[in-house]
Chain A
Amino acid sequence: MEWDWEFSIQILPQLWEGVKVTIQATILGTMIAMTLGLVLAIARRSVNVWISRPVGFFAEFIRGTPLLVQLYFLFYILPDLGLLLSPLTAGVVGLGLHYSTYTAEVYRTGIDAIPSGQWEASKATNLTANQTWIHIIIPQAIPPMIPALANYFVAMFKETPLLAAITVLELMNQARSVANYHYKYVEPMTMVGLFFLAVSVPSVILLRKLEALYAPSDR
């Protein structure tokens, strides 16, 4: 089997279209995962068991089932309920929802790491619950979480090819359509793999740097 350079260069523009959608999906998905994760984490800590229990179960359920099936579920069920979502929207929502249960765990451990003295001091200075979260807890809890959150950002980027299953024309789907059209699989599939490696290997190095930068210092 020979590697066809001419063919690889010829298909680059079409793959690039896919790359754009891949990046778009990653960024939008991350935004959902980061915000929804924080909401889930705070809701899980609620003193009201009617909030914390169902939210906890929901998060466990999402984490215990495959993203692909969740994507199918969103993609096929929502139109039945009268919600017409574009494939990309459904994919981004699925991706964000799935990873929000992971980021929620990151937030949770980060919040648990805040010494109880901080909570007590907030109470002593008569801050409301909202003020405590916004001005005291979250600003201290976020920096040590950055490496772990960045890790999930990279993980989401790598998982975007799953959106191909619900007809989003991201990189993997573009590669498949090129491959099927020309009946040449080696070049497009390998190029997709190389693209992901080319992004994730440097990001691993970057992540290590981040970890060193934000390593929880001894208090």
Chain B
Amino acid sequence: MEQWQGYIGLILQGAVVTIEITILGCIVALIAAFIAGLGRISRFWPLRWLATAYIEFFRGTSIFVQLFWAYFVLPLLGVPLSPLQAGVLALGLNVGAYGAEVVRGAIKSIPREQYEACTALNLTRFQEMRYVILPQAFVRMLPTFGNNAIELLKGTAVVSLISLSDMTFQAQVVRAQTGSTAVPFLTILLLYFLFSSTISTAIKRLEWRLSRGLDGTGS
């Protein structure tokens, strides 16, 4: 029993790493999603083109391939990355590409009257986005962002393959040391499920809070 406590401790250490990567990855993804999403609806074609190239590139290959490329090839091209940096960067940029489409779709779904009203009120393009369009669009982005965050959490398991000691990695360690597969893997499956449920509950709360006072943007 005491022995199992040690192993549980190991898995919990991994859980901390998993949470860390998820949070850092989500920050990178959120920034990338807004830059690329706004880039896609920009009036300047080079920006639109760049954003499309980024989105298609990262959506065209899986996180696994991108991670290995970032970890094995980038150092040879003169960009040394630690496993953590490679993991956060690959996950963030990958999920960011999916998020960019969400940002674009949500902004496009804001009715035309809102834009016309902004023009009528003589708002600058920045003011229009900042005070009128984005606050409404953001609420519409939230549910899909929640799903994207869960995809990112699930993607973190892959970093165990580039020797980052996340939850999956630690479960493998425990498996190697005890010879038991069921206990460590069931434990981490439950923990992953707990984390993803936490994300979806948190997003629902946030959606509810942000949608107060905005009518016409759906429940």
B-binding residues in A (CB < 8 A) = 1, 61, 63-70, 72-73, 76-77, 80, 158-159, 161-162, 164-165, 172, 176, 179, 185-186, 189-190, 192-193, 196-197, 200-201, 204
Q: Which residues of B sit under 8 angstroms from A185, Cβ to Cβ?
A: 72-73, 76
Residues A66 and B66 in contact in the complex (CB < 8 Å), given A1-B76, A77-B181, A165-B161: no
- The verdict on B69 contacting chain A, using a C-beta distance below 8 Å, is yes
Q: List 6 A-B contacts (CB under 8 A).
A: A1-B77, A65-B196, A67-B154, A69-B185, A189-B69, A200-B60
Q: Which residues of B sit under 8 angstroms from A70, Cβ to Cβ?
A: 189
Q: Which residues of A sit under 8 angstroms from B181, Cβ to Cβ?
A: 72-73, 76-77, 80
Q: Which residues of B sit under 8 angstroms from A204, Cβ to Cβ?
A: 56, 59-60
- Complex formed: what's the CA distance from A197 to B57 in Å? 7
Partner of B73, one of A64, A72, A158, A186: A186
- Complex formed: what's the CA distance from A189 to B76 in Å? 12
Residues A200 and B59 in contact in the complex (CB < 8 Å), given A77-B185, A186-B73: yes
Number of B residues near A (Cβ < 8 Å) is 39
A159 near B77 with CB under 8 A, answer: no
Partner of B185, one of A76, A165, A176: A76
A73 near B189 with CB under 8 A, answer: yes
Partner of B61, one of A1, A61, A73, A196: A196
A64 near B192 with CB under 8 A, answer: yes
Q: Which residues of B sit under 8 angstroms from A73, Cβ to Cβ?
A: 181, 185-186, 189
B73 near A66 with CB under 8 A, answer: no
Find the B residue at minimum CB distance from A64. B196
How many contacts between A and B, using CB within 8 angstroms? 110
Q: Which residues of A sit under 8 angstroms from B189, Cβ to Cβ?
A: 61, 65, 69-70, 73
B192 near A186 with CB under 8 A, answer: no
Find the A residue at minimum CB distance from B68. A189
- The verdict on B155 contacting chain A, using a C-beta distance below 8 Å, is yes
- The verdict on B106 contacting chain A, using a C-beta distance below 8 Å, is no
- Complex formed: what's the CA distance from A1 to B74 in Å? 10
Other contacts beyond A189-B73, A196-B60, A204-B56: 9, CB < 8 A = A64-B193, A64-B196, A65-B189, A68-B157, A68-B168, A69-B157, A72-B172, A73-B185, A158-B61
Q: Which residues of A sit under 8 angstroms from B158, Cβ to Cβ?
A: 66, 68, 162
Q: Which residues of A sit under 8 angstroms from B197, Cβ to Cβ?
A: 64
- The verdict on B136 contacting chain A, using a C-beta distance below 8 Å, is no
Q: Which residues of A sit under 8 angstroms from B61, Cβ to Cβ?
A: 158, 193, 196-197, 200
- Complex formed: what's the CA distance from A80 to B161 in Å? 24
B64 near A161 with CB under 8 A, answer: yes
Find the B residue at minimum CB distance from A68. B157
Q: Which residues of B sit under 8 angstroms from A190, Cβ to Cβ?
A: 69, 73
A159 near B62 with CB under 8 A, answer: yes
B68 near A172 with CB under 8 A, answer: yes
A162 near B62 with CB under 8 A, answer: yes
User: Distance in Å from the Cβ of A137 to the closest Cβ of chain B?
Assistant: 27
Residues A162 and B64 in contact in the complex (CB < 8 Å), given A1-B77, A64-B196: yes
- Complex formed: what's the CA distance from A204 to B59 in Å? 10
Q: B25-64 vs A: 1/0 string, CB under 8 Å?
A: 0000000000000000000000000000000110111101
- The verdict on B88 contacting chain A, using a C-beta distance below 8 Å, is no
Q: Which residues of B sit under 8 angstroms from A77, Cβ to Cβ?
A: 181-182, 185
Within 8 A of A (CB), among B76-93: 76-78
Residues A193 and B182 in contact in the complex (CB < 8 Å), given A1-B77, A66-B168: no
Residues A158 and B168 in contact in the complex (CB < 8 Å), given A72-B185, A165-B161: no
The 10 closest A-B pairs by CB, nearest first: A64-B196, A66-B157, A200-B60, A66-B154, A76-B181, A158-B62, A185-B72, A68-B157, A65-B192, A196-B61
